[in-house]
């Protein structure tokens, strides 16, 4: 017997209107990575929609099992794009997580992470120092050479292997200047949005993005006070905190009066462009969020709009490209990264299912390990078939997951951001002068 009230009665969460039109056709099953891996209905978009519907009707409680099904969704958006009636299962899962957090607040760890650490870039950098020390001191190299990690449980071993090959000791925001001037004729004045993961783990990619912008005639301002885009908070049910991050970033970046706000992280870019939806009911920020989002551009999107200055040098390597879900589906950006790669002079080899999720989704390797690596293995089958020397992708989460895949397979390949290859082509020109 049930109460007839929604499991999240009285708080913000998915509504009956969002699930009412599902016709249970099953098209979403054909594209869902978690369903392909498990072949279980409850791990499919259709199954999750049914679970949310029952929770709305008051027939399901917010049990641990229900929560787990909501968190197994990778939010890759493949289901949203194939649904013939406009159901958005991934969005439903994210909203259900927010409702769960309102009704049943989690214990200390999650609030500490998403309220205490992510909003504070300096603290996030500090907490990664031991990992950077492990890498840069040479201990990591010795540990791997001796095979010490081989005795660890497979999940811990893969978490270690997922780390980038060269972790910066100093956060990226301390390595980049506040402003970089255009090289040659000035064509634009832009701001570079330095995200969390790039800021602590992906220094080379960040430097390459700024370098490429300058080579293409952009004066680049790099505000160091930016905060997390908010997606980690949304992903774990802390939507109010995400809105606070959004307000801060809007105030900061709109105040710079730049022509565009550039990001080189697919997840950051999609989140920044979603600020109008996050703040649609905020009378003070609703309109400003629209003005802000209208300026946001992925680096590849912006370069193609501006017109890429051809580098004199060429990379000349065999490269394959993985489409990040939040770039190709959330933002509709597919051809532009490939144009950046071709401008760098690479031999671009398309992999099969290039736009299928790699299994990262931020923290899936930690929270749902077997599903994550199962999806990764399918991706690496397609990568290996290209025999590429380099795998390019415009998302730090994808890069880390693909880096793990390379190590698991023992492939002779490296993982980079497309900006790094274009920057390499520009540098090659200089070295030849």
The answer to whether the beta carbons of residues 125 and 200 sit under 8 Å apart is yes
What is the β-pairing status of strands 218-221 and 179-180?
A: antiparallel
CA distance 79 to 82: 5
Indicate whether 70 pLDDT > 90.
yes
Any idea how long the chain is?
433
Indicate whether 22 pLDDT > 70.
yes
| Residue 3 pLDDT | 52
Kindly report the CA angle at 143 between 137 and 149, in degrees rounded to 5? 135
- Region 75-103 average pLDDT: 95
Helix (H) or strand (E) holding 391: strand 390-392
| Residue 2 pLDDT | 46
CA distance 414 to 204: 13
- Region 422-430 average pLDDT: 86
Comparing CA positions, the residue from 396, 174, 201, 192 lying closest to residue 299 is: 192
Q: Quick one: pLDDT band at residue 194, thresholds 50, 70, 90?
A: very high
Alpha helices in 220-265 (DSSP H): 231-235, 239-254
Beta strands in 303-385 (DSSP E): 318-321, 347-348
Radius of gyration of the chain (CA): 22
Task: Convert the pLDDT of each residue in 317-326 to its tens digit.
Answer: 999 999 999 9
CA distance 305 to 187: 12
Indicate whether 432 pLDDT > 70.
no
| Residue 345 pLDDT | 97
Q: Quick one: pLDDT band at residue 129, thresholds 50, 70, 90?
A: confident
| Residue 410 pLDDT | 94
Mean pLDDT of the chain: 93
Structure-model confidence comparison of residues 176 and 124, the more confident one: 176
Kindly report the CA angle at 327 between 33 and 225, in degrees rounded to 5? 120
Indicate whether 430 pLDDT > 70.
no
CA distance 57 to 276: 29
| Residue 431 pLDDT | 52
| Residue 197 pLDDT | 84
Q: How is 258-270 classified by DSSP, letter by letter?
A: -SEEEE--HHHHH
- Is the CATH code 3.30.1370.10 the one for domain 16-103? no
Task: Convert the pLDDT of each residue in 252-281 to its tens digit.
Answer: 999 999 999 999 999 999 999 999 999 999
Comparing CA positions, the residue from 318, 393, 427 lying closest to residue 164 is: 393
Q: Quick one: pLDDT band at residue 130, thresholds 50, 70, 90?
A: confident
| Residue 382 pLDDT | 98
CA distance 264 to 191: 12
Structure-model confidence comparison of residues 3 and 167, the more confident one: 167
Indicate whether 207 pLDDT > 90.
yes
CB burial class (10 A; 0-12, 13-18, 19+) of residue 236? buried
What is the residue whose two structure tokens read 């929770």?
Answer: 55
- Region 117-129 average pLDDT: 82
Kindly report the CA angle at 121 between 217 and 127, in degrees rounded to 5? 125
Q: Quick one: pLDDT band at residue 1, thresholds 50, 70, 90?
A: very low
Q: Domain 172-304 is of which CATH architecture?
A: Up-down Bundle (1.20)
| Residue 332 pLDDT | 97
Tokens of 390: 């380099």
Annotated domain spans of the chain: 16-103, 172-304, 310-432
Task: Convert the pLDDT of each residue in 51-67 to its tens digit.
Answer: 999 999 999 999 999 99
Q: What is the CATH number of domain 310-432?
A: 3.40.50
**Rounded (10°) CA dihedral 260, 231, 13, 291:** -10
Q: Quick one: pLDDT band at residue 163, thresholds 50, 70, 90?
A: confident
Residue 120's contacts (CB-CB under 8 Å, 6 or more residues apart) are: none
Q: Same CATH fold, 310-432 and 172-304?
A: no
Q: Which residues on adjacent β-strands are paired with residue 298?
A: 263
| Residue 47 pLDDT | 96
């Amino acid at each position: 017997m049930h109460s007839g009230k929604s499991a999240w009665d009285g708080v913000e969460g998915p509504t009956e209107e969002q699930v009412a039109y599902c016709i249970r056709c099953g098209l979403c099953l054909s594209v869902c990575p978690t369903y392909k891996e498990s072949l279980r209905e409850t791990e499919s978009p259709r199954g999750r929609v049914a679970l949310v519907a029952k929770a709305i009707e008051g027939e399901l409680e917010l049990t641990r099992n229900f929560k787990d099904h909501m968190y197994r969704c990778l939010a890759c958006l493949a289901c949203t794009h194939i649904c013939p009636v406009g159901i958005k299962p991934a969005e439903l899962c994210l909203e259900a997580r927010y409702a769960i957090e309102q009704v049943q607040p989690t214990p200390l760890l999650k609030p500490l992470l998403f309220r205490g650490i992510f909003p504070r870039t300096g603290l996030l950098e500090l907490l990664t120092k031991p990992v950077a020390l492990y890498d840069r001191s040479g201990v990591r190299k010795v540990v791997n050479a001796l095979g010490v990690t081989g005795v660890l449980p497979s999940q811990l071993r893969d978490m270690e292997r997922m780390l980038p090959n060269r972790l910066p000791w100093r956060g990226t925001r301390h390595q980049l200047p506040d402003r970089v001037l255009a090289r040659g004729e000035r064509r634009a004045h832009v701001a570079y949005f330095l995200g969390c993961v790039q800021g602590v783990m992906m220094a080379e990619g960040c430097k390459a993005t700024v370098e490429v912008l300058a080579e293409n005639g952009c004066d680049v301002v790099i505000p160091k006070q930016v905060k997390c885009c908010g997606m980690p908070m949304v992903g774990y049910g802390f939507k109010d905190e995400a809105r606070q991050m959004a307000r801060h970033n809007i105030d900061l970046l709109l105040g710079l009066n730049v022509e565009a706000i550039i990001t080189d992280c697919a997840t950051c870019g999609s989140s920044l462009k979603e600020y109008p939806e996050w703040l649609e009911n905020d009378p003070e920020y609703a309109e400003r969020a629209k003005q802000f989002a209208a300026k946001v551009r992925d680096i590849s999107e912006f370069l193609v709009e501006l017109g890429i200055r051809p580098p004199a040098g060429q990379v000349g390597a065999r490269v394959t490209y993985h489409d990040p879900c939040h770039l190709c589906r959330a933002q509709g950006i597919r051809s532009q990264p490939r144009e950046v790669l071709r401008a760098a002079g690479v031999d671009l080899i398309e992999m099969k299912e290039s736009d299928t999720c790699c299994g990262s989704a931020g923290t899936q390797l930690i929270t749902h390990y077997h599903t994550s690596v199962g999806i990764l293995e399918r991706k690496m089958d397609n990568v290996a078939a290209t025999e590429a020397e380099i795998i390019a992708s415009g998302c730090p989460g994808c890069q880390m997951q693909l880096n793990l895949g390379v190590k698991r397979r023992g492939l002779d390949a490296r993982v980079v951001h497309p900006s790094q290859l274009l920057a390499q082509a520009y540098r090659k020109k200089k070295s030849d002068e």
